[in-house]
């Protein structure tokens, strides 16, 4: 029996209804419980948010203490100690030689808006107001706030919402930076920043080493800022604390969210390098951006607890070991002809899907595959003609086998149903 509800869910048609086995009522470890009493293994870490597992006790206890001791403190025109401690912990984690200041936000989308504003103000207050173009990648996803919606390279009805993209450009990430270089030859003096995801959240496509090398070289040549959106890849997801840690030089701004609090509170952060931060300090400039719920005591306490937990589990060695097992699973699926290709990096894997005539699946067809895999007990993330596996870091060998079995069964069932139509 399908049930309608006052709740308007995200990213689905407004007339969508849900049976009891689709209504979540709880989450523990790596599993989600539903209203009909069933449970499913989450191979999505919630939505990249929960790499330490649902209900992590250390994070929950830290949030509870902060909620009791300081239920709300603001960062508007004043600091508070919880946020100061969290900011220091983030800088220490990411490297004080790479970043020097932290701006708290409430979501990845809001943080991307903030990064675009920061980049434009950086140039405007130095007398280069014409340097306002932001360059993103086709197929990227940065959020659905008005700024981040414009920056996202996916087709997300931007024209319907009158999203202003006049100061945004998009280039390919598949050509090792050729199109980016051509754009900069034409408009380099007008480019404020280039924003990239080290692994694109839509489809799990990792930037090539050649693309990153050219991006860094072009920054040296044209002077633009580099913003790395690590909302999806941060905190060990790719086998390093941050996916940009192995770049020859750091980005100027690092965008973090999702795993930042293990999903305990809505939170994001910009880690700002000295190139940008020092100019704002030297000029005494005011950055006009503020969010009422950004950097609250509960949020800050969750961040500190997450960092402590990442150290406790030795996250880089843990995720590298998990990634090796996950890629063996994905490679077998490809060699057995279950999926067409494998993309991604570390514990962030995309499984490309194709119809029997080798055509790509539509969004609706991908969702049917996702639903069929869920019927077999595992939740996976949809992507463009792909599904994505984003397991929490504590996944066991038996849980990986559950993924393998469910993916095989779900894809087979979808193909059988297609034949019956």
CATH number at residue 113: 3.40.640.10
Structure tokens at 248: 């020859």
**300-337 pLDDT, tens per residue?**
999 999 999 999 999 999 999 999 999 999 999 999 99
Question: How many CA atoms are closer than 13 Å to the CA of 363, on its beta-carbon side?
Answer: 7
Mean pLDDT of the chain: 95
Clarify whether residues 13 and 75 are in a common domain: no
Q: How far apart are CA 356 and CA 106, in angstroms?
A: 43
Closest CA to 254 of 234, 280, 279: 234
Pick the last residue of a domain from 278, 312, 346. Answer: 312
Domain that holds residue 407: 2-55+314-420
Write the pLDDT tens digit of every residue in 74-95. Answer: 999 999 999 999 999 999 999 9
> Model-level pTM?
0.95
What would you report as the CA-atom Rg of the chain, rounded to the nearest whole angstrom?
A: 21
Q: Is residue 12 predicted with pLDDT exceeding 90?
A: no
Considering the domain architecture, whether residues 252 and 125 belong to the same structural domain is answered as: yes
24 and 120, same domain (yes or no): no
Residue 1 pLDDT exceeds 60: no
Token pair of 352 as six digits: 């490309």
Verify that 17 and 136 share a domain, yes or no. Answer: no
| Average pLDDT, integer, range 259-286 | 97
pLDDT (tens digit, 9 = 90+) per residue, 377-397? 999 999 999 999 999 999 999
Nearest Cα neighbor of 134 from 121, 152, 151 is 151
Statement: residue 420 has pLDDT above 90:
no
Q: 308 with 203, same domain?
A: yes
| Domain identity same for 124 and 37 | no
Q: pLDDT for 283-300, tens place per residue? A: 999 999 999 999 999 999
Neighbours of 189 (CB within 10 A): 13
- pLDDT at position 418: 78
Same domain, 369 and 240: no
Q: Where are the beta strands (DSSP E) in 132-289?
A: 133-137, 168-171, 191-196, 199-200, 205-206, 225-229, 253-256, 268-272
> Are 37 and 61 in a shared domain?
no
pLDDT, position 385: 95
CA distance 263 to 237: 15
Residue 275, H or E segment: helix 274-283
- Which pLDDT score is estimated for 273? 98
pLDDT tier for residue 4 given thresholds of 50, 70 and 90: low
Are 180 and 280 part of one and the same domain? Answer: yes
Rounded Cα–Cα distance for residues 227 and 133 (Å)? 13
- Please say if the pLDDT value at position 2 is more than 70: no
Same domain, yes or no: 250 and 114: yes
Residue 35 clears pLDDT 90, i.e. is over it: yes
Task: Please tell me whether residues 74 and 208 are part of one structural domain.
Answer: yes
Domain boundary at 254, 288, 312, which? 312
Query: How many domains does the chain fold into?
Result: 2
SS3 2: strand
CA 360 – CA 351 distance, rounded (Å): 12
pLDDT tens digits, residue range 371-382?
999 999 999 999
- For residue range 228-239, list pLDDT tens digits in order: 999 999 999 999
Q: State whether 16 and 120 are in the same domain.
A: no
Q: What is the CATH number of the domain that holds 394?
A: 3.90.1150.10
Domain boundary among 282, 312, 342: 312
DSSP code per residue over 348-406:
EEEEE-B-TTSPBPPHHHHHHHHHHHHHTTEE-EEETTEEEE---TT--HHHHHHHHHH
């Amino acid at each position: 029996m399908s049930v309608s509800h006052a709740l308007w869910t995200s990213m689905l048609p407004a007339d969508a209804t849900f049976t009891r086995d689709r209504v979540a009522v709880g989450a523990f470890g790596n599993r989600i419980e539903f209203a009909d009493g069933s449970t499913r293994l989450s191979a999505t870490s919630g939505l990249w948010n929960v790499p330490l597992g649902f209900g992590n006790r250390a994070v929950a206890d830290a949030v509870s203490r902060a909620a009791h001791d300081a239920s709300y403190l603001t960062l508007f025109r004043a600091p508070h100690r919880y946020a100061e401690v969290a900011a220091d912990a983030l800088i220490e984690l990411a490297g004080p030689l790479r970043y020097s200041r932290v701006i708290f936000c409430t979501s990845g989308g809001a943080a991307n808006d903030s990064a675009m504003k920061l980049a434009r103000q950086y140039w405007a207050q130095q007398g280069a107001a014409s340097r306002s173009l932001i360059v993103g990648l086709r197929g990227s996803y940065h959020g659905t706030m008005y700024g981040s919606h414009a920056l996202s390279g996916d087709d997300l009805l931007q024209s319907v919402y009158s999203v202003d993209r006049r100061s945004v450009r998009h280039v390919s990430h598949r050509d090792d930076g050729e199109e980016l270089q051509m754009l900069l030859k034409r408009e380099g003096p007008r480019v404020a920043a280039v924003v990239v995801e080290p692994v694109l959240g839509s489809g799990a496509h990792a930037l090539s080493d050649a693309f990153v090398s050219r991006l860094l070289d072009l920054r040296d040549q044209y002077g633009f800022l580099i913003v790395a959106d690590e909302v999806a890849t941060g905190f060990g997801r790719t086998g390093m604390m941050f996916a940009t840690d192995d770049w020859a030089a750091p980005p100027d701004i690092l965008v973090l969210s999702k795993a930042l609090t293990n999903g305990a509170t809505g939170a994001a952060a910009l880690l700002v390098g000295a190139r940008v931060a020092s100019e704002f300090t030297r000029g005494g400039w005011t950055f006009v951006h503020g969010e009422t719920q950004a950097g609250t005591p509960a949020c800050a306490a969750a961040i500190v607890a997450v960092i402590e937990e990442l150290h406790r589990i030795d996250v880089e060695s843990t995720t590298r070991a998990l990634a090796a097992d996950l890629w063996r699973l994905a490679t077998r699926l490809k060699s057995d002809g279950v999926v067409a290709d494998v993309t991604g990096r570390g514990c962030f894997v995309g499984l490309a899907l194709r119809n029997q005539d080798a055509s790509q699946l539509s969004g609706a067809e991908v969702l049917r595959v996702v639903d069929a895999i869920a019927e077999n007990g595992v939740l996976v993330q949809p992507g463009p003609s792909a599904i994505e596996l984003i397991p929490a870091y504590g996944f066991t060998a038996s849980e990986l086998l559950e993924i393998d079995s469910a993916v095989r069964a779900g894809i087979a069932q979808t193909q059988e149903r297609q034949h019956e139509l």
